[in-house]
């Protein structure tokens, strides 16, 4: 997801004076940082406090930035540490997700479905309920899975940047993203209409290969097309629900960057 202006300012390098760099950083990253904070804080007020804390930390430590990463990566490293510091494990919250095998779609005869280009669109109520289910599922993810999915699907960072922020291998980021997406999809499909689908017409291993290819396309922000001559109706339904899940991860109406928060952050720089 992009929050860039139609005429974006040049990206910061870290060599700019603090008084010049931080207001630009607030303008460029404020909306995405606020969206991240909303998914780790129990209230709107707490999220706004966290945003101010992160930007103030960046302001105070600007001279310590060594330039060995992108400025945005450095900022979200500060943010992820602030989120983890404030996190308190919820009662009953699991330490891990279900195994990948448990999260994979099974051989049900009826599956949740999303209309294709020629089908009737989902009703506003179904879409609203689906978005709420996905957002709640994000909040329910263990922190080690929630942070990667938020940094990728909402902030829009690359797997390499996420790995640098969390100090974990890129392969681990990929594994956690794939499991988290399937968990969010499980929450979504409970709110979608279902229809009968034919049994598998491909070997299961081939379907799993297609699912891996689909996940990789989501990792990279690319459109996935079935290979020529390969079509599995069950897989196509799964992929459409995964696309809808990704869409519902985005910033929801009513949680946009508050202009007053931006003014408060800039004011704090002057005090």
Query: Domain limits at 54?
Result: 18-91+254-270
> Tens digits of per-residue pLDDT, 22-63?
999 999 999 999 999 999 998 999 999 999 999 999 999 999
Task: Report d(CA 52, CA 143) in Å as an integer.
Answer: 21
Residue 242 has pLDDT above 90, yes or no: yes
Q: Of 202 and 161, which is predicted with more confidence?
A: 161
Residues in the chain: 271
Residue 21 has pLDDT above 60, yes or no: yes
Whether residue 46 lies inside any domain: the answer is yes
Whether residue 227 lies inside any domain: the answer is yes
Asked whether residue 139 falls in the same domain as residue 57, the answer is no
Asked whether residue 238 falls in the same domain as residue 170, the answer is yes
Residue 217 has pLDDT above 50, yes or no: yes
Asked whether residue 151 falls in the same domain as residue 238, the answer is yes
Task: Report d(CA 96, CA 144) in Å as an integer.
Answer: 8
Residue 16 has pLDDT above 80, yes or no: yes
Whether residue 12 lies inside any domain: the answer is no
Whether residue 6 lies inside any domain: the answer is no
CA-based angle 222:212:229, to the nearest 5?
80
Task: Report d(CA 82, CA 207) in Å as an integer.
Answer: 40
Residue 172 has pLDDT above 80, yes or no: yes
The pLDDT value given to residue 208: 83
Asked whether residue 143 falls in the same domain as residue 240, the answer is yes
> Tens digits of per-residue pLDDT, 107-131?
677 888 887 776 678 888 999 999 9
Average pLDDT over residues 156-183: 96
Residue 13 has pLDDT above 90, yes or no: no
Asked whether residue 46 falls in the same domain as residue 135, the answer is no
Task: Report d(CA 249, CA 153) in Å as an integer.
Answer: 6
Asked whether residue 117 falls in the same domain as residue 218, the answer is yes
Whether residue 8 lies inside any domain: the answer is no
Cα-Cα-Cα-Cα dihedral sign, residues 94, 98, 186, 77: positive
Asked whether residue 138 falls in the same domain as residue 266, the answer is no
> Tens digits of per-residue pLDDT, 62-113?
999 988 889 999 999 999 999 988 766 554 555 667 666 677 777 677 888 8
In percent, the amount of the chain with pLDDT more than 90 equals 56
Residue 254 has pLDDT above 70, yes or no: yes
Asked whether residue 79 falls in the same domain as residue 105, the answer is no
Asked whether residue 105 falls in the same domain as residue 202, the answer is yes
The pLDDT value given to residue 185: 94
Assign residue 225 the CATH number of its domain.
Answer: 1.10.10.10
Average pLDDT over residues 228-235: 77
Task: Report d(CA 204, CA 90) in Å as an integer.
Answer: 37
The pLDDT value given to residue 6: 42
Asked whether residue 260 falls in the same domain as residue 242, the answer is no
Residue written as token pair 């202009």: 259
The pLDDT value given to residue 201: 65
Count of domains forming the chain: 2
Task: Report d(CA 208, CA 53) in Å as an integer.
Answer: 43
DSSP one-letter string for the chain: -----SSPPPPP-S-S-HHHHHHHHHHHHHHHHHHHHHTTSSSHHHHHHHHHHHHHHHHHTGGG--SSS-HHHHHHHHHHHHHHHH--PPTT--SSPPPHHHHS----SEEE----TTSPPPPHHHHHHHHHHHHHHHHHS-HHHHHHHHHHHTS---HHHHHHHHTS-HHHHHHHHHHHHHHHHHHHHTTS-EEE-PPP-S-HHHHHHHHHHHHHHHHHT----PPTT---HHHHHHHHHHHHHHHHTSPPTT-SPPHHHHHHHHHHHH-
Whether residue 144 lies inside any domain: the answer is yes
Average pLDDT over residues 242-246: 94
Assign residue 50 the CATH number of its domain.
Answer: 1.10.1740.10
Whether residue 209 lies inside any domain: the answer is yes
Task: Report d(CA 203, CA 205) in Å as an integer.
Answer: 5
Asked whether residue 68 falls in the same domain as residue 169, the answer is no
Whether residue 205 lies inside any domain: the answer is yes
Poorest-confidence range of 25-39, 165-179, 240-254?
240-254
pTM: 0.87
Asked whether residue 124 falls in the same domain as residue 167, the answer is yes
């Amino acid at each position: 997801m992009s929050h860039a202006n139609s005429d974006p300012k040049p990206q910061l390098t870290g060599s700019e004076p603090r008084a010049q760099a931080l207001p630009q950083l607030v303008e460029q990253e404020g909306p995405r940082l606020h969206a991240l904070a909303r998914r780790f804080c129990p209230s709107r007020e707490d999220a706004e406090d966290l945003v101010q804390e992160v930007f103030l930390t960046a302001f105070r430590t600007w001279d310590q930035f060594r330039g060995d990463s992108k400025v945005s990566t450095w900022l979200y490293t500060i943010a992820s540490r602030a989120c983890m510091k404030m996190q308190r494990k919820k009662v009953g919250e699991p330490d891990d997700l279900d195994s990948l095998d448990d999260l994979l779609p099974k051989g049900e005869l009826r599956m949740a479905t999303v209309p294709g280009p020629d089908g009737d669109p989902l009703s506003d109520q179904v879409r609203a309920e689906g978005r709420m289910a996905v957002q709640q599922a994000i909040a329910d993810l263990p922190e080690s899975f929630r942070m990667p999915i938020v940094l990728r699907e909402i902030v829009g960072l690359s797997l390499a940047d996420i790995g640098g922020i969390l100090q974990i291998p890129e392969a681990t980021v990929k594994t956690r993203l794939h499991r988290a997406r399937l968990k969010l999809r499980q929450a979504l499909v409970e709110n979608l209409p279902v229809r009968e689908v034919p049994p598998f017409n491909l070997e299961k291993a081939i379907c799993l290969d297609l699912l891996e290819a689909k996940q990789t396309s989501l990792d990279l922000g690319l459109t996935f097309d079935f290979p020529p001559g390969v079509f599995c109706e069950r897989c196509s339904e799964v992929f459409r629900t995964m696309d809808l899940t990704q869409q519902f991860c985005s910033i929801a109406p009513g949680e946009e960057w508050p202009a007053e928060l931006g003014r408060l952050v800039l004011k704090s720089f002057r005090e």
